[in-house]
Amino acid sequence: MADGVGSLRGYFRRLDKTLALLAAAAVFFGCLIQFSVYRAGFITRRALLTQWLTAGAGYLVMLLMAELDYRRLAAGWKFHLPATLGLTLLTFTNLPIVYRPEGSDDSAWLRLGPLSVQPGEFFKFSFILTLAWHFDRVSERLDSPREVLLLCLHGAAGCLLIFVQGDMGSALIFFFIFAAMAFASGLSWKYIAAGAGAVAAAAPAVWFSGLLPDYIKNRFLVLGDLEGAALGDAYQQLMGRRILGSGQAFGRGLFSDSFQYVYAIENDLVLAHIGQALGFAGTAAALLLLTAICGKILLVSRSSRDYLGVPTAAGVFALVFFQTALNAGMVMGLLPVIGITLPLFSQGGSSLAVTLLSLGLCMSVSAGAGPGRRGKKKGLD
């Protein structure tokens, strides 16, 4: 009995309580918003219950992961990577379990019995762990051109796989994860500058190469005149922006009878529903809460007790921060619609589960179980 109480006290002593409380607040807020979406008749009871069950189970798993050693998880890439990569590759087949939800641009989902799963989301989790492991293994020779090339190939493999799948938004998140982890790991500025220059130089070539579908190009082109293109490619985005601002300062209330609807208001455009329900105050609260979570993750990365924890937490930061920034920019009409969810708020069990798993990984870094080893460089020092 005494040993059990002592173990429990030790767990709470190691637990990153700030991150746990911030995550709990965001999960509760997100579940409340989805209930409001359900009350408005925009989603089914089954979708709501699935979201709530995923939120509850995901949060408990997050707390359990805080006690796991992230070094073992990273070293176990031979187990989780084949699983997540294999499921992702299944979406390229013609198997009956592969499907494309109505209105989606890609077939990135698997139907497993009563559940629909987006394996590319779980692949993000493995991508962060395997890339962090790679950075850790070469930390002593990080500025070697050979190692930099191999790291770039590692990062590009994940980005290109998801890009070919057709999920442009997730492919961009993979790129940002790689960039954030490279910076945090202490990669030389000359390589970072060269990489940024290469991306800038390649952008026009990609645009004119035919690699981007016309509908994606159109979403960029209409940004300068959403009103003028209201009946075409800009309709969804323009309506989302109008709905976002319709709540004015404090919104219509969570259970109003006068909510407006636009396609994907429960996931990609959930910020628009927050705006009409809770106004500017509620929208700001949601974004500030996610910003606080991102800030806490950065502190975890900076204070990591070993080298491996630095890029691991940086990858989780990139996952949450860039999805938040891109989603908000998308709803406000500043960025094109590319299928990015708002972490912890959008409808979607796969996205919610992976975000909570990633936060659990970050809490494991914060707990810092084990002696570990610290490399020579640390980008956040």
362 and 19 in contact (C-beta within 8 Å)?
Answer: yes
CA angle 298, 339, 295 (to 5 degrees): 10
pLDDT of residue 127: 96
Question: How far is Cα 99 from Cα 80, in angstroms, rounded to an integer?
Answer: 23
pLDDT in tens, 250-265: 999 999 988 999 988 9
**Residue 44: which residues within 8 A CB-CB, separation 6 or more?**
38
**Based on the number of CB atoms within 10 Å of its own CB, is 249 exposed (0-12), middle (13-18) or buried (19 or more)?**
exposed
Write out residues in the chain with pLDDT < 50, as ranges: 369-379, 381
Give the pLDDT of residue 323: 96
d(CA 202, CA 205): 5
Contact 307, 378 (CB under 8 A): yes
Beta bridge partners of residue 111, listed in sequence order: 116
H/E segment holding residue 115: strand 115-117
Taken in order 144, 150, 156, 158, is the CA torsion positive or negative? Answer: negative
pLDDT of residue 233: 67
- State how far the alpha carbon of 215 is from the alpha carbons of 14, 168, 207, 219, 220, in Å: 49, 12, 12, 6, 9
Whole-angstrom distance, CA of residue 268 vs CA of residue 350? 14
The amino acid at residue 33 is I
Under DSSP, is residue 96 helix (H, G, I), strand (E, B) or coil? Answer: coil
Question: Do residues 277 and 245 touch, judged by C-beta distance below 8 A?
Answer: no
Report the alpha-carbon distance of residue 260 to residue 78 in Å, rounded.
Answer: 47
| Nearest-angstrom CA–CA distance, 205 and 24 | 44
* Residue 247 structure tokens: 């709540």
Integer Cα distance of 272 and 122 in angstroms:
26
84/145 Cα distance (integer angstroms)? 30
Cβ count near 69 (within 10 Å): 15
Distances (CA, A) of 120 to 110, 221, 330, 359: 10, 28, 21, 18
